[in-house]
Structure 1
Amino acid sequence: MDSRNETPEEKRERLRQEELKSNPFGAFGDGVNRAQHGNLADLVGGLGWKGTVVILLVLVIGYIIYKLLF
């Protein structure tokens, strides 16, 4: 696909694949850490802005309820 027509997700994936080819052991360590701790960038990238807003609202509302009860 031409880079002018690439979506941001496709560009991130292409860059990630290039990094895997050039440095496989460094990418292995990143993958292990990502699997253990999660990756916010992948989560937000997959959800889009609406999903991100929903998650933030749930967290804020949960925090407010926690503060009111405890």
Structure 2
Amino acid sequence: MSNVKNYTEQGGNRTVIGGELDITPEGKLAFDGTLLSPATLQADSTAVDVAGLVTDFNALLAKLKTAGLMNAE
């Protein structure tokens, strides 16, 4: 039994992160060729009606898509 938290299995098909993965500012994280980044802050909604809430929600969805955290289509 090993006490190593982070390792790549033999053959390289699976990497296990049991510790912390720290991506430096120079580092990149991609999923299926799409670069991922933190989403831009979405302010708390102050909507007073459904139409305002829809606008706020759509803004959040756009930020998630731009960050690569949600597929655009």
Name the TM-score, length of structure 2 as normaliser: 0.28
User: Of Structure 1 and Structure 2, which has the larger fraction of its residues in helix?
Assistant: 1
Name the TM-score, length of structure 1 as normaliser: 0.29
User: Of Structure 1 and Structure 2, which has the larger fraction of its residues in strand?
Assistant: 2
Q: Rg bigger for which structure?
A: 2
Larger relative contact order, structure 1 or 2 (CA cutoff 8 Å, min sep 6): 2
